Amino acid sequence: MDKLDKLVTLDEFFQQKVWFLDFGPTIRLVGVTIKVEPTGYLAILRAITAEGPKVAFLGKKGLDKLRTALLDESGRDAIRWRDDKYKLDKKT
């Protein structure tokens, strides 16, 4: 796979396929922000649950490693969801 093919694969994943990942029966993914940092990439995942808005963070050295971690069920299981205090504060 050449670099352009890999870039297209990553683009397709983060625009289309990430929305269909299974984070559990009570978590519905509603947003993904990817920050580029000197140490790698940070994915900020936002979700809605019965308890309210949640947020999780996942950092990796490369976009492909980030994609791989999200595709891997054990990688998704390792994600720790927290209350999205920013969203909760905006509602009050």
Output the 3-class SS for 21-71.
Answer: CCCCCCCEEEEEEEEEECCEEEEEEEEEECCEEEEEEEEECCHHHHHHHHH
- Interval 46-74: pLDDT, tens: 999 999 999 999 999 988 899 899 988 88
Give the total number of structural domains in the chain.
1
- Interval 12-57: pLDDT, tens: 888 888 888 888 889 999 999 999 989 899 999 999 999 999 999 9
Report pTM: 0.81
* Residue type at position 59: G
Residue 14: domain span? 3-91
Residue 76 backbone phi and psi in degrees, to 5 = -70, -35
Q: Looking at residue 54, which CATH number applies to its domain? A: 3.30.160
